[in-house]
Amino acid sequence: MSLPEPTQRPLTQHVDHNREAYNLAEYEAHGGYESVRKMLTELSPSAGLELLKASDLRGRGGAGFPTGMKWSFVPMQSEAERLANPMQKYIVANADEMEPGTFKDRVIMEGCPHLLVEGMIVGAAILQATTGYIFIRGEYIEAAEKLNRAISECREKGWLGKNILGSGWDFDLHVHTSAGRYICGEETALLNSLEGKRATPRAKPPFPQVSGLWGKPTIVNNVETLANIPNIINYGAEWFKGLSLTEDAGTKLYGVSGRVNKAGCWELPMGTTARELLEVHAGGMRDGYKLKTFLPGGGSTPLLLPEHLDTPMDYTHIGKIGSRMGTGTMIMIDDQVDFLGALKNLEHFFAQESCGFCTPCRDGLPWVEKTLDKIIRGKGTSADIEWLDRATVNLNMGFTFCAHAPGAMGPLESALKYFRAEFETRIKLHHSETV
């Protein structure tokens, strides 16, 4: 089968909510699994890795780390070594999707499960991995069922199993359904969880690429990241870079939620502005509501203001204005929302989801929530604001074992920067009442 013409929407071209997701035969008829064929018959693992590096693909799970560079740390065997005695290596899809406000990986897994499966097989072919797992949050039952169906079809057809396409390479893939807890999405906590343990993060180094699942080399990537790989292999790095409006390559699954007219998730060129997302795709704010502030990419990304709407939504540009693109799913907060209440809602989430392993996070986050609550109830003092200021230092990068607590400080620190007056007003009210 020859490849169809490349598309502008490689991740969602086959997603259509008005029909069932493609089965294997339908998916193959649209060029599905051609990237695996190409990888196994035309390209060496190192050529595949070079393509990935050249594509400038960056991780879509939140941090935007260059995928090719991440993969280059995985130890590789020569063809002869591998055929004689293949090294046990794992590839894992992070389908935990628990960042508040994020609903993009679901779209791929429910809308085109074969794309993720293909991404994992072709990725595994590059890494010469032996087993793959899709680590999916427990509530995504429909997605897990669809992925399991896609995997069985692939086993039957020979895209999974022994000696795939006569290459001498064996690979199998399993779905692992989780049971709650946001921290499972942190990649080293995810590995502990996959091993059947409590999901507490691991110290790095060693990095998972060298010593991951059961101490073996392991790659963990977000669903959207992996879903990009088949078409990079099919159509090349230049094509992938050409999809974007800015230097960060590819397309992006963006989302908008909040009191807007048409909340949703759309695949658009990387670098689309927040304004286009809000005004064109989401149809603007609902009548009677004005945009006050927004979280550009999930609950842990620092707040931005309406004046930032024209910034291209990519890792580089959003980074330059003091926030992070995160997952690219924006949460719009309007002028009628009780702003401090919204902030407390976020900090409650982070406090509850702390894994409890390190003290600043385990003890500090509930205290942040309590302090916000005190201020909201009109019982706060200026010392409480100062305490929150200190928390944004002491619970931040370098003081905690993983990025969970620093993530919680994103919205808090930016709220204190942009909306300090709201904190102060609530305190002054209290003061004038008590004096």
Partner 1 sequence: MTEIDTQLVAQLTEQETQEILKLASHYDYPQAASIEALKIVQHYRGWVSDESLQAIAKLIEMSAEELDSVATFYSLIFRSPVGNNVIMLCDGITCWMHGCEQLKNCLSEKLGIDYGETTPDNQFTLIPVTCQGACDRAPVALKNMKLHTELNESSVLALTTLESQNRLGGSK
Ligand X SMILES: Cc1cc2nc3c(=O)[nH]c(=O)nc-3n(C[C@H](O)[C@H](O)[C@H](O)COP(=O)(O)O)c2cc1C
Binding stretches for partner 1 (CB under 8 A): 97-103, 105-106, 133, 137-141, 144-145, 174, 176-182, 193-199, 214, 255-259, 263-265, 295, 299, 329, 331, 333-334, 337, 341-342, 345-346, 349, 352-353
Nearer to ligand SF4 (CB atom), residue 308 or residue 324: 324
Nearer to ligand X (CB atom), residue 65 or residue 73: 65
Q: Residue 14 has which token pair?
A: 């086959």
Q: Where do the H-state alpha helices sit in 338-419?
A: 339-353, 359-376, 382-394, 404-418
The count of other CB atoms within 10 Å of the CB of residue 424 is: 15
x-or-dash pattern for ligand FES, window 84-103, by CB under 6 A? ----------------xx--
φ/ψ bin of 79: left (φ > 0), alpha (ψ from -120 to 50), beta (otherwise):
alpha
Residues 183-242 that bind ligand X (CB under 6 A): 183, 185-187, 220-222, 225
Q: Residue 417 has which token pair?
A: 């920067």
Nearer to ligand SF4 (CB atom), residue 74 or residue 361: 361
Helix (H) or strand (E) holding 173: strand 172-177
> In the complex, what is the shortest distance from the CB of residue 354 to ligand SF4, in angstroms, rounded to a whole number?
4
Binding at 145: pick from ligand X, partner 1, ligand FES, none (beta carbon under 5-8 Å per type): partner 1
In contact, 213 and 195? CB cutoff 8 Å: yes
CA distance 135 to 132: 10
Q: Residue 79 has which token pair?
A: 């063809």
> What residues contact 292, with CB distance under 8 A and at least 6 apart?
306, 333, 334, 335, 337, 339
CA distance 35 to 86: 22
Nearer to ligand SF4 (CB atom), residue 62 or residue 111: 62
* Stretch of 270-278, 335-343, 396-404, 425-433 lying at the interface with ligand X (CB under 6 A): 396-404
Residues 83-142 that bind ligand X (CB under 6 A): 94, 96-99
Residue from 120, 358, 372, 416 touching ligand SF4 (CB under 6 A): that is 358
Cα–Cα–Cα angle for 414, 417, 423, rounded to 5 degrees: 100
* Stretch of 16-24, 62-70, 396-404, 410-418 lying at the interface with ligand SF4 (CB under 6 A): 396-404
> What residues contact 351, with CB distance under 8 A and at least 6 apart?
365, 366, 368, 369, 408
How many C-alpha atoms does 258 have within 13 Å on its Cβ side?
32
Nearer to ligand SF4 (CB atom), residue 295 or residue 358: 358
The burial class, CB within 10 Å (0-12 / 13-18 / 19+), for 172 is middle
Nearer to partner 1 (CB atom), residue 97 or residue 413: 97
Binding at 245: pick from ligand SF4, ligand FES, ligand X, none (beta carbon under 5-8 Å per type): none
How many H helices and E strands in the chain?
A: 18, 8
* Stretch of 19-27, 76-84, 331-339, 353-361 lying at the interface with ligand SF4 (CB under 6 A): 353-361
Residue from 401, 418, 422, 430 touching ligand SF4 (CB under 6 A): that is 401
> What residues contact 108, with CB distance under 8 A and at least 6 apart?
11, 12, 15, 115, 116, 223, 224, 227, 253
Nearer to ligand FES (CB atom), residue 101 or residue 411: 101
Asked if 183 interacts with ligand SF4 (CB under 6 A), we say yes
Q: Which residue of this chain has its Cβ atom nearest to ligand SF4 in the complex?
A: 361
Residue from 14, 308, 317, 404 touching ligand X (CB under 6 A): that is 404
> In the complex, what is the shortest distance from the CB of residue 54 to partner 1, in angstroms, rounded to a whole number?
32
In contact, 312 and 271? CB cutoff 8 Å: yes
CA distance 79 to 237: 25
Site residues, ligand SF4 (CB under 6 A) = 183, 201, 354-358, 361-362, 400-402, 404-405
Residues near ligand X (CB under 6 A): 59-63, 65, 94, 96-99, 182-183, 185-187, 220-222, 225, 402-404, 407
